[in-house]
Structure 1
Amino acid sequence: MILVTGGLGMIGAHTARALLDLGEQVVVTTYRQTDVPSFLAGRVAVEALDVTDRDAFLALGKQYAVTGIVHLAGSIPGENPVDFYRTDLTGLLNALDAARAWNVRRFSVASSLGVYLGRSEIPWREELDLPSVDLPHHIIAFKKAVEPITTHALQGTGVEPVLLRIGSIWGPLMDPESAFSPIPSYVSAVLRGEMPRPLPSGEGGDSCYGPDAGRAIALLAAAPSLRHTTYNVSAGRPSTNHEIVAALRAITPAELLPEGPDGGVDEKPYLDITRLTEETGFTPRFDAASAVADYFAWRTKNPR
């Protein structure tokens, strides 16, 4: 059985579904989110858990024969960044304690494409050295620290660490007004019959649809063997707002879909997924058009 922390969040839920589709048994933990998406209902065990509660975390090992952990639970920084770091670090350390105590086969943990910031190469590949630069967000700073903490904490234990450098993910279950992707709020405006804020057509970069990201993570978590510790998780190609708007125009009235000017934007960085593909066989199932169509259909029936 594989434990997915944060398993009712966007990435966690799609990961859990993909693991189920691979034939794995799955238990997900949740803290704030209580609604189980339709594609998981009746298929997974759901446990309410504050990952900062070490005793409660370790107690799950008495209920379930956990053989792998995918640690995706995390919080959003507030006014005091120390509180954010304390919360997420405590959750990480408790998850690592559980991995060691239960002697799981593999411990996968969310990192971020943001760890590559400062590298000028495009695309970003796992073998690149990570530069020392000022980072624009507390979440990226924490994810960068997660990597050495995880590998050193599991060294010599027999538990295999897998660092998931996750790209820009969007799709079903994402906060419709999230600041991390302009697509959900644009679609929300269209569904309300309102004029969306124009998206500069040439802007974009790394972007991956949630179900694809979940399947990539699941394949890494369930693979019989892996040759590396670090893997990029994304679509493996850049996309632009123009592609998104064009896909929406194909299924909705064009007059509701403004598009901003190109602006001459330079090429944006994105993640190379050659390593992921070679070792797991992963290739994205969704391109921009099919992802937009799928998401639009989902949002006509679901609030997020």
Structure 2
Amino acid sequence: MTWLVTGGAGYIGAHVVRALVDRGIDVVVLDDLSSGHDSFLPAGVPFVQGNILDGDLVASALRDHAVTGVVHVAGFKYAGVSVQRPLHTYAQNVTGTLVLLQAMAEVGVSRIVFSSSAAVYGTPDTELVTEATAKNPQSPYGESKLIGEWILADQGVASGLAHTSLRYFNVVGSGYEDVYDTSPHNLFPLLFDALLDGRSPKIFGDDYPTPDGTCVRDYVHVSDLATSHVAAAQRLDAGEPVEPVYNLGSGEGVSVGEIMTAVRDSTGIDFTPEVAPRRPGDPARIVASGELAARDLDWVMRHSLADMVDSAWRARSDATRR
């Protein structure tokens, strides 16, 4: 069996690729390198450079490498920016998924693991999000991911497509010192950039009804996330039942204040965060249950907060020295 990983040269995708390789599963990567890096790919993994909007290229990649399943990670993932670029977001995330599924149908590939997002929930009115929590996306990004889930479900009814979608919140850490988060919008890179530039990181609000007054969120280690993507692929390969969606959540959450302390401890850089006003719409706490994924997808929080920060900082520091 061979699995195609779309977006496999990105931070999350590259971890999925390496997790598949570690389990002896053949992999091919499709990525346009708009935010990924070919240096993240392990030696010997076939790489097709291109965009999933190119249906002929996608079909050729599936056919030429005898692909039996797809882990679909590719997409435009910046929720905030998607508000300014809705058409681009829908083209990459909705049209791109349609083109991919059309190519899969043409070639006869009938298994897909979709990398979705907890952005489909928007700002939930519950402290512990489950798969049944109402969906209320509040950005084109979140909407595009929910539409992607709908498309998979409809194609499943129409063609028997075997599929599952994995929703998650904040992905951090690194499983390999040569793969790290290069996003200009994610928390850890922003924190590290500020410290390396001699600036104080910002906390938006410290008067929330939480233990330390700062927002509480779900943070999960990228290697744990990759492990569950592989487990989902293996269940689909084996014809074992899967839920249409799973939350990959911690069940507990971490506060922004706790992250600042962990970053201070890990980096050895003493700093006092700048406290800025609350951002409109930021809820005090959003944490997801990972109970279903723990049952089916080997979902376990194997890494502590210290592990997450240490691994991310180590990989970033190595990259800076290279």
User: TM-score w.r.t. structure 1 length?
Assistant: 0.86
Pick from 208, 224, 234 the counterpart of residue 222 of structure 1. Answer: 234
User: What's the counterpart of residue 30 of structure 1?
Assistant: 31
CA distance in 2 between partners of 1:177 and 1:91 (Å): 23
For 1:206-221, what aligned pairs fall within 5 Å after superposition? Answer: 206-221=218-233
Give the residue type in structure 2 aligned to 1:146: G
User: What's the counterpart of residue 184 of structure 2?
Assistant: 177
Deviation at 1:36, TM superposition (A): 2.6
Give the residue type in structure 2 aligned to 1:8: A
Does residue 196 of structure 1 match 2:196?
no
Cα distance per residue 1:199-234 (max 9 Å; x no partner): 356223122222222222222122232331111124
Give the residue type in structure 1 aligned to 2:310: A
For 1:266-281, what aligned pairs fall within 5 Å after superposition? Answer: 267-281=284-298
What 5-or-longer segments of structure 1 have no aligned partner?
Answer: none
CA distance in 1 between partners of 2:124 and 2:266 (Å): 38
Deviation at 1:259, TM superposition (A): 6.5
Q: Please tell me whether the aligned partners of residues 228 and 298 of structure 2 are also in contact (alpha carbons under 8 angstroms).
A: no
- The 3-state SS of whatever aligns with 2:199 is coil
- The 3-state SS of whatever aligns with 1:301 is helix
User: What's the counterpart of residue 165 of structure 1?
Assistant: 167
The structure-2 alpha-carbon separation of the partners of 1:287 and 1:80, relative to structure 1 and needing over 3 Å to count, comes to closer
Give the residue type in structure 2 aligned to 1:16: V
Cα distance per residue 1:214-266 (max 9 Å; x no partner): 22222212223233111112434311122222222323335335374999x97
User: What's the counterpart of residue 149 of structure 1?
Assistant: 151
CA distance in 1 between partners of 2:266 and 2:88 (Å): 44
Pick from 230, 240, 246 the counterpart of residue 231 of structure 1. Answer: 246
CA distance in 2 between partners of 1:261 and 1:89 (Å): 35
- The 3-state SS of whatever aligns with 1:256 is coil
The structure with the greater share of residues assigned to helix is 2
Cα distance per residue 1:35-60 (max 9 Å; x no partner): 3345x320421111221111111111
User: What's the counterpart of residue 258 of structure 2?
Assistant: 243
Percentage of matched positions with identical amino acids: 24
CA distance in 2 between partners of 1:278 and 1:215 (Å): 14
Give the residue type in structure 2 aligned to 1:219: A
User: What's the counterpart of residue 133 of structure 2?
Assistant: 128
CA distance in 1 between partners of 2:45 and 2:113 (Å): 19
What 5-or-longer segments of structure 2 have no aligned partner?
Answer: 175-179, 207-211
User: TM-score w.r.t. structure 2 length?
Assistant: 0.82
Give the residue type in structure 2 aligned to 1:170: V
